[in-house]
């Protein structure tokens, strides 16, 4: 799931607003042994917190102490005050806390100026991805400004991202084998992100009170994991563009099968807006296919092929300004002919823009873990690649050119060939293959607990979301007791970035009773 630029062309308010409510059950929430054992262990610890900025010291029953929470000093950006928190957490919560390797989790606390000492409820933000760090505020704006009116906002760098022991294209080279890396990466999914969040909550929130969480995109997936296994830590849940499919061992196939229809619609809308790009894209495909090796070298050392060109749809088709950004990029695809009879060449501008488009060099976890976020007890086996083979006639760029048809861009899909063609991903190809074949993934959701949910939940569902299929969202929502949905086609997947204040205000209104149930 991608992280969430302003609407250039307004989307018609065809489906403006729909609120749904389902019946809550009186049954108690279930849990899984890993979370139960984690909380049992925490009850045997006393935590002494220093408010002078040094952090907190955890003292276990054996008398051993060590710093596990360090708090920084307040600093400012316009209209906001911020301070940093660093926590030392187990890499693997299933192991004894003394023997598990440790990693650092970074979180940034944000409040409105003047509210540093005020008693306010906490809101934890869970970023989209997987594999992307939390926002870095430079001023009070958007959803953060609105949230700070009534919350202390905690911007969590999920494990492996930002300043949370980051797994980068350089740091991961420290592993001696693909198996060692794959064995390490299995600890970076939603289940452990939620355990990190609970580790932080009981140390940061006064009296370890429950907090509100806001999950964007993949962060919404994490929110449902939170609701499944640690609902006692939650006061309210807000979700924007992030309700996952649940109930099967691997739902990746369902995602790609259901999502292709929306991807095709986005391609159609793109070419209607920019019809001249049909011929430009065909021309690029012809040029790449005729080049030595089936593509042209990229500045970093990879190769741009027709398949890579089609992958521009991952970012270009699903966000509010994606169409425009893609079009302006294609405008500058060719170098000008300055000398008569000079050969035609793709411009350095375009090649650099292509490499910067996906951020695989700075956020490789997205490619490595993307399909695993759909796995519970089964392997993905490169789901998007297998599905593409079934519909090759629709996605074959060369065939489309030969038949004078538009070349379709692909959507949010990670393919094994990316680890051959994208330089930043080359070293991790074998680890990616191991993760794609892994079968014993632990559970991410508990359907029974979700059906008996008692935590208030409000979710913004974007009707034309390319990344989170509407049909699958509705199937999942029907299994979450008490959830209220705001269904709209006014925004795309990037709604929280584009109109954050309005969206947060609307969701809080729903969850706090200011909006009617029907």
What are the residue numbers of the active site?
Answer: 217, 440, 493
The whole-angstrom separation of Cα 491 and Cα 11 is 7
Q: How many CA atoms lie within 13 A of 388 on its CB side?
A: 22
Question: And the tokens for 480?
Answer: 């979450």
Residue 102 vs residues 177, 187, 324: alpha-carbon distances, Å: 20, 12, 44
Question: And the tokens for 344?
Answer: 């035609």
End-to-end CA distance of the chain: 30
Residue 415 vs residues 130, 294, 418: alpha-carbon distances, Å: 16, 17, 6
The whole-angstrom separation of Cα 377 and Cα 375 is 6
CA dihedral 269, 273, 279, 283 (to 10 degrees): -80
Distinct helix (H) and strand (E) counts, the chain: 21, 15
Number of neighbouring beta carbons within 10 Å of residue 106? 21
Contact predicate 90/97, CB 8 Å:
yes
The whole-angstrom separation of Cα 151 and Cα 170 is 37
The whole-angstrom separation of Cα 144 and Cα 292 is 49
- Burial environment of residue 39 by CB neighbours within 10 A (0 to 12, 13 to 18, 19 or more): middle
The whole-angstrom separation of Cα 352 and Cα 336 is 17
What is the full DSSP assignment across 229-266? H-GGGEEEEEEES-----SSSB-HHHHHHHHHHHHHHH
């Amino acid at each position: 799931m991608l992280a969430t630029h302003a609407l250039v062309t307004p989307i018609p308010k065809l489906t403006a607003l729909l609120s749904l409510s389902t019946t809550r059950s009186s049954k108690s929430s279930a849990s899984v042994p890993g979370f139960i054992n984690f909380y049992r262990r925490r009850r045997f610890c006393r935590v002494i917190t220093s408010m002078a900025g040094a952090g907190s010291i955890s003292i276990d029953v054996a008398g051993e102490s060590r710093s596990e929470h360090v708090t920084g000093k307040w600093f400012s950006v316009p209209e906001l005050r911020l301070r940093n928190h660093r926590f030392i957490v187990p890499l693997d919560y299933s192991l004894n806390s003394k023997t598990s390797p440790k990693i650092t989790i970074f979180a940034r606390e944000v409040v409105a100026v003047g509210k540093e000492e005020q008693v306010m409820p906490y809101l934890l933000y869970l970023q989209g991805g997987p594999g992307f760090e939390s926002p870095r505020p430079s001023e009070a704006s958007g959803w953060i400004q609105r949230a700070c009116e009534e919350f202390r906002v905690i911007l969590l760098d999920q494990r492996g991202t930002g300043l949370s022991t980051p797994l980068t294209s350089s740091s991961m080279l420290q592993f001696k084998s693909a198996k060692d890396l794959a064995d390490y990466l299995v600890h970076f999914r939603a289940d452990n992100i939620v355990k990190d969040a609970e580790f932080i909550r009981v140390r940061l929130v006064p009296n370890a009170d429950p907090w509100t969480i806001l999950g964007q995109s993949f962060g919404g997936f994490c929110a449902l994991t939170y609701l499944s296994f640690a609902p006692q830590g939650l006061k309210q849940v807000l979700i924007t563009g992030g309700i996952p499919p649940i109930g099967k061992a691997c739902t990746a196939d369902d995602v790609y099968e259901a999502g292709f229809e929306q991807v095709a619609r986005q391609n159609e809308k793109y070419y209607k807006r920019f019809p001249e790009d049909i011929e430009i894209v065909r021309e690029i495909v012809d040029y790449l296919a005729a080049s030595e090796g089936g593509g042209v070298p990229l500045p970093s050392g990879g190769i741009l092929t027709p398949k890579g060109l089609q992958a521009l749809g991952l970012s270009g088709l699903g966000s509010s300004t994606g169409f425009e950004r893609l079009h302006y990029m294609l405008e500058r695809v060719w170098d000008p002919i300055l000398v008569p009879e000079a050969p035609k060449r793709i411009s350095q501008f375009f090649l650099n823009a292509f490499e910067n488009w996906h951020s695989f060099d700075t956020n490789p976890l997205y490619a490595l873990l993307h399909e695993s976020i759909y796995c519970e007890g089964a392997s993905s086996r490169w789901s998007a690649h297998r599905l593409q083979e079934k519909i090759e006639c629709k996605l074959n760029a060369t065939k489309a050119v030969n038949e004078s048809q538009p070349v379709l861009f692909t959507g949010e899909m990670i393919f094994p060939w990316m680890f051959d063609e994208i330089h930043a991903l080359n070293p991790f190809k074998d680890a990616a293959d191991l993760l794609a074949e892994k079968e014993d993934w632990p559970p991410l959701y508990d359907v029974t607990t979700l059906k008996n949910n008692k935590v208030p939940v409000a979710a913004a569902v974007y009707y034309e979301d390319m990344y989170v299929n509407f049909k699958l969202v509705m199937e999942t929502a029907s299994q979450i007791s008490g959830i209220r949905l705001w269904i709209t086609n006014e925004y795309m997947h990037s709604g929280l970035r584009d109109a954050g204040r309005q969206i947060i205000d609307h969701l809080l209104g729903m969850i706090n009773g200011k909006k009617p149930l029907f």
